[in-house]
């Protein structure tokens, strides 16, 4: 099949979808203008829910909204409950003489009314509050390097840790963590790099500081939105995306969610020789807890799955010019997004995604190179599979808002996935 050929589903059939998704079909089956308008509608709706922390008001409201959209498309919808950590109350702070900063609590939170002692940097002194300045990166998880540094500080006598997530925006970045237990034994929180200078100076001098994180740490319910459309055949197409995140998550989550909605609207009407299974997971921040639960309990078995397509982080966030601390948005997509596919899908993906920054270079899927929920999918034995993950400049920052997205970037991703899916499943049906 020619990967550039039009989709088999008719435009009229796709336009039978619900109100929000009326203009949200892949671009080859609806006008570009209508597809972009549909994407913008989704982005604005998702933004309106506020922060998307798992089990919080924004995550719950976005889940209910997705349920209604999927039902309007003809899917049978059900919730899959999960359990996640949470924190509420006063934000943590770090204070020294002449300066005070508000921090991001590091989950799973170990609350403390206040710890006062010397502020120090590892290998440059000792004290009670460790200031850990990370090297420049687009940080996203506390596992690995951050975990190692905090544990080393605790072993050196620290009673609390303040992590500086040095990166392209200067903002504090929330860090993912396992869902079941804290990574380390001392309270920890994240300080914005752009606010770190007075605290770094104080740490060099061994100055006194007070760290406080007095809010409540607890657990709360959340849920995955799952949906199916049975066509009475043996095999399944799974299409997945995360919907939760630390803050507004417009580039990280919203762009992928908008492309996912376009893709599932197309799949509901397209004449594909498979049943459809969908999931929009919560619990992403807790090392993909929702995705793991879906794989374990509700997903079709690998042997029954014709293809799994995953739309993870940074599916279509916009790129930025950097001039020191000044960031200026660009109309093009951030290329730090990675497309991985099973070996026989690599060339079809390269053809379908040609010209899309970052995605035009498709990599053969490998458990060692995959990240996010895609890694969980691959480890569980699903093959064939294809999916996107990445991290744009405002990944895990409070500033990941509508400035970070452009509706024009979304339909090309959904359209390209649809082309590959149709080609792969049609070829598979012919072989069968």
Residue 21, pLDDT score = 46
User: pTM to 2 decimals?
Assistant: 0.91
Show the domains of the chain with their CATH numbers: 11-85+220-431 (3.40.630.10), 90-214 (3.50.30.30)
Quick one: pLDDT band at residue 39, thresholds 50, 70, 90?
A: very high
Quick one: pLDDT band at residue 14, thresholds 50, 70, 90?
A: very low
In this structure, are residues 24 and 253 in contact, taking their beta carbons and an 8 Å threshold? no
- Give bridge partners of residue 99 from the DSSP assignment: 96
Nearest to 56 by CA among 284, 250, 347: 284
Residue 165, pLDDT score = 98
Burial class (CB in 10 A: 0-12, 13-18, 19+), 93: middle
**Cα dist from 368 to 316, 340, 374, 375, whole Å:** 24, 12, 11, 8
Q: Treating both helix axes as pointing N-terminal to C-terminal, what angle do 32-48 and 410-431 enclose, rounded to 10 degrees?
A: 110
316-364 pLDDT, tens digit each: 999 999 988 889 999 999 999 999 999 999 999 999 999 999 999 999 9
251-267 pLDDT, tens digit each: 999 999 999 999 999 99
Read out DSSP for 51-84?
---TTSHHHHHHHHHHHHHHHHTT-EEEEEEEEE
183-207 pLDDT, tens digit each: 999 999 999 999 999 999 999 999 9
Residue 32, pLDDT score = 85
* Mean of the per-residue pLDDT values of the chain: 91
Quick one: pLDDT band at residue 428, thresholds 50, 70, 90?
A: low
130-160 pLDDT, tens digit each: 999 999 999 999 999 999 999 999 999 999 9
């Amino acid at each position: 099949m020619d990967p550039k050929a039009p989709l088999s589903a008719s435009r009229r059939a796709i336009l039978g979808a619900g109100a929000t998704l009326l203009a949200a079909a892949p671009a080859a089956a609806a006008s570009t203008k209508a597809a972009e308008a549909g994407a913008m509608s989704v982005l604005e709706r998702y933004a309106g829910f506020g922060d998307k922390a798992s089990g919080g008001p924004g995550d719950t409201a976005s889940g209910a909204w997705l349920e209604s959209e999927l039902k309007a498309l003809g899917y049978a919808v059900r919730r899959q409950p999960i359990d996640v950590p949470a924190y509420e109350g006063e934000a943590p702070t770090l204070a020294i003489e002449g300066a005070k900063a508000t921090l991001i609590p590091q989950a799973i939170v170990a609350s403390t009314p206040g710890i006062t002692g010397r502020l120090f940097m590892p290998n440059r002194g000792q004290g009670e509050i460790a200031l850990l300045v990370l090297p420049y990166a687009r940080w996203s998880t506390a596992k690995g390097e951050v975990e190692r540094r905090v544990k080393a500080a605790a072993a050196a006598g620290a009673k609390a840790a303040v992590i500086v997530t040095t990166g392209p925006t200067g903002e504090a970045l929330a860090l993912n963590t396992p869902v079941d237990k804290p990574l380390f034994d001392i309270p920890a929180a994240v300080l914005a790099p752009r606010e770190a200078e007075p605290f770094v100076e104080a740490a060099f001098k061994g100055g006194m500081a007070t760290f406080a994180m007095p809010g409540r740490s607890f657990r709360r319910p959340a849920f995955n939105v799952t949906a199916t459309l049975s066509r009475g055949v043996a095999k399944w197409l799974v299409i997945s995306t995360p919907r939760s995140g630390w803050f507004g998550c417009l580039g990280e989550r919203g762009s992928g969610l908008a492309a996912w909605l376009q893709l599932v609207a197309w799949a509901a009407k397209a004449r594909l020789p498979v049943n459809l299974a969908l999931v929009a997971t919560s619990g992403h921040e807790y090392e993909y807890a929702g995705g793991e639960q879906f794989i374990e309990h509700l997903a079709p078995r690998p042997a029954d799955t014709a293809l799994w397509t995953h739309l993870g982080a940074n599916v279509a966030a916009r790129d930025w010019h950097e001039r020191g601390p000044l960031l200026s948005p660009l109309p093009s997509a951030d290329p730090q997004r990675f497309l991985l596919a099973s070996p026989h899908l690599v060339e079809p993906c390269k053809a379908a995604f040609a010209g899309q920054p970052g995605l035009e270079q498709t990599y053969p899927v490998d458990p060692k190179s995959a990240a996010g929920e895609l890694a969980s999918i691959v480890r569980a034995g699903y093959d064939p599979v294809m999916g996107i993950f990445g991290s744009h400049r405002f990944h895990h920052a409070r500033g990941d808002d509508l400035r970070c997205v452009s509706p024009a970037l979304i339909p090309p991703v959904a359209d390209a996935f649809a082309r590959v899916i149709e080609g792969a499943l049609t070829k598979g049906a012919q072989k069968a």
